[in-house]
Amino acid sequence: MSMRVAVVGSGPSGMYAADALLDHGVSVDVIDQLPVPFGLVRYGVAPDHESIRSVRDTLDQIWDRPGIRFLGNVTVGKDVSVEELRAGYHAVVLTYGASADRRLGIDGEDLSGSVAATDLVAWYTGHPDYRGPDFDALLPSVRRVAVVGVGNVAVDVVRVLSKSVSELAQTDMPDHVLSTLARAPIEHVHLLGRRGPVQASFTTKELRELGELEEAEIRVDPADLNLDPVSASEIAENKVATRNLKVMQEWCERPARPDAQRTIEVAFFRRPTTIHGVDHVTGLDVERTHLDLEGQLTGTGQVEELPVDLVVRSVGYRGTAMPGVPFDPDRNVIPNRDGRVMEGDHAIHGLYVAGWIKRGPTGIIGTNKKCAVGTVASLMADIEEGILTPQEEVAGIDEVLRARGVRSIGSSGWRSVDAQERARGENQGRPRVTIHERDELMAIGAG
């Protein structure tokens, strides 16, 4: 009897898990709440990083393998429950990621003009369910921006907001996003890190790109690059930080660019304390910090106010709970042991987890592949040991969805969307134009 497994989430972790299951002769239904697949590869990677976004072309080939189906536009926890999935399949693998943002927890954070990087990224990548701030109305009046955080997402946001119209025109952004960014009068972008350059989590390639923009001048305070004892000891074992420091030291030696249309200012040891404004953001207080001899972040009491119109917090993603599944609210992950979902000390029969919701929002796309393959190895080991036994046929969830009037989109529907986006891009001399309206995606996918 063939094994049939449901994978919830079609991002890299879900697709890699499905691919590994197919290698073992397992039939797979990949379920996603969106009408189109690939998760953060499509809606998280910056549109100007075409080489990384091209991973979806590799993932797309998995749909050509026998034994796999895509069930898009199906929300687990709403259209179908986890209990119904467990009844309809021999096993379920949860790979729905960690898409919620973390807050700064400071006064003024709820003002208009104080936004999450997750919202800005969802907007400029064309997420069909985006319901956040109206950036089309907000950005045309923004001149000065503070981006809080020193990870790759923060760097992506700074780069997208600082690029010229001609640079952005080479991306697959939705048309309305390109139009809005072209009208935004942004002059100055602060990139703020609460700790030092050695503790920053961005990678060298992403960092270096900030100094290669057509119309932007990059600045960094040389004093921020002087290493304290803790940082000096850390950098000896951190090759990425060593390369990053070299890039920023080179920036310090560059001559001024009087022709620059905007300035990017990278500042470390700045901790946001208060966002100012009445109805809208007008400024951000930041306190100078330092690392003590124990490596703990300590405030100096020295505060400066940055006049800004927009504050973007980019201090991490967090996972959210799934109804009917154990959840660790401290780590924001599903508790597991080698991918087996745990309730207390006991594994839940037939329920597994992979990706960010398994381990937290860390690593790169390749990390998710290793993580997913590891989870599938646990699932297959449970079959071999007789813990998981496909003793009878299972029906999947087709009948459940039909009874509830849920219209799912298959991989052929996705291919129709893909072809339409590429055709629209070709007409504009672009790789593709992302279609961002859910109704239009559904119409194309169903047609």
Phi–psi pair at 344, nearest 5 degrees = 70, -125
- What pLDDT, on a 0 to 100 scale, did the predictor assign at position 1? 53
The tens digit of pLDDT for each residue in 251-293 reads 999 999 999 999 999 999 999 999 999 999 999 999 999 999 8
263, β-bridge pairs: 188, 217
Find out whether 121 and 153 touch, Cβ atoms under 8 Å: yes
d(CA 60, CA 37): 9
Helices 438-446 and 411-428, packing angle to 10 deg: 110
Domains assigned to the chain: 4-99+319-408 (3.40.50.720), 102-314 (3.50.50.60)
Burial of 393: CB neighbours in 10 Å, binned 0-12, 13-18, 19+: exposed
192, β-bridge pairs: 148, 267
Cα 49 to Cα 46, 65, 189, 248: the distances in Å are 6, 27, 20, 21
In which element (H, E) is residue 60 found?
A: helix 55-60
Question: Helix (H, G, I), strand (E, B), or coil: what is residue 277?
Answer: strand
Cα torsion at 88, 92, 95, 101 (round to 10°)? 70
Unique residue bearing structure tokens 């119409």 = 443
- What pLDDT, on a 0 to 100 scale, did the predictor assign at position 207? 96
Assigned token pair, 224: 């921020």
pTM here is 0.94
Residue type, 366: G
Per-residue pLDDT 10s for the chain (447 aa) are: 589 999 999 999 999 999 999 999 999 999 999 999 999 899 988 898 887 777 889 999 999 999 999 999 999 999 999 999 999 999 999 999 988 889 999 999 999 999 999 999 999 999 999 999 999 999 999 999 999 999 999 999 999 999 999 999 989 999 999 999 999 999 999 999 999 999 999 999 999 999 999 999 999 999 999 999 999 999 988 999 999 999 999 999 999 999 999 999 999 999 999 999 999 999 999 999 999 988 899 999 999 999 999 999 999 889 999 999 999 999 999 999 999 999 999 999 999 999 999 999 888 888 899 999 999 999 999 999 998 887 778 999 999 999 999 999 999 999 999 999 999 999 999 999 999 999 999 999 997
The tens digit of pLDDT for each residue in 379-399 reads 999 999 998 887 778 999 999
